[in-house]
Amino acid sequence: MNVSFAPLQQDAIDVLSAATLVDFSTTEFSDEDTWLCVTVRRNRGTVALVIAFEFKSWCEAYVTTAVVDKKALTRRLLTAVTRTVFSRAARITAEVDPANDAALNQMWRMGFKHEGYKRRAIEGVRDAVLFGLLPEECPYLEGVPFRIAFGTPAVIHPEHPGVN
């Protein structure tokens, strides 16, 4: 697999848009003050993983991810990416569609904490489960296996927002 930190190419934008149901086609990912992008490609060039961090303020980066191949989401990559993001921001925020069970489970595996529920947070239409990650809680910075550090995941109930 090949990793790139360059602005997203059109095929990666298409994958991100399809996975999140958010239209990123007009987003200018080349602004390095606003975006940190990661694309992992399989050896044949197809997209395996897309991660886009949007620095919405001096202290916060919002993350959007599309995982096509779980093998691309390595501990080494996550360590490098989180170190880079936390050198620029005090926290990482994720807004996840409550119907996306795979993404909800991934948030726990990456060390994120459930912080709440936002109505119409995604495109002004869909609700979102809110997650946050602080550097002192990040398993990729501590070098501690996440299963040991964080125990059992919380279960998010879409029909009962904010209830674990």
Give tens-digit pLDDT for 62-72: 999 999 999 99
Count of CB atoms within 10 A of residue 12's CB? Answer: 25
Lowest mean per-residue pLDDT among 6-10, 56-60, 144-148: 144-148
Question: Is 154 a residue whose pLDDT tops 50?
Answer: no
pLDDT reading at 18 higher than 80: yes
CA–CA separation, 132 vs 60, rounded Å?
10
The rounded Cα 112 to chain-centroid distance in angstroms is: 10
Q: For residue range 33-74, what is the model confidence (pLDDT) as tens digits?
A: 999 999 999 999 999 999 999 999 999 999 999 999 999 999
Helices (H), 21-134: 75-86, 101-109
CA distance 154 to 151: 9
The pLDDT, as a whole number, for residue 25 is 96
Which residues on adjacent β-strands are paired with residue 136? none
Q: List the beta bridge partners of residue 117.
A: 129
Name the percent of the chain lying above pLDDT 70. Answer: 87
Lowest mean pLDDT among 47-51, 84-88, 128-132, 144-148: 144-148
CA–CA separation, 131 and 115 (whole Å):
5
Residue 142 CA: distances (Å) to CA of 41, 100, 115, 117: 27, 28, 21, 28
Q: What does the pLDDT read at residue 144?
A: 55
What 3-state class would DSSP assign to 110? coil
**CA dist 44 to 8, 47, 127, Å?**
18, 9, 36
* Tokens representing residue 4 in the block: 């790139």
What's the mean pLDDT in 130-147?
A: 81
pLDDT at 30 over 50: yes
CB atoms within 10 A of CB 69: 14
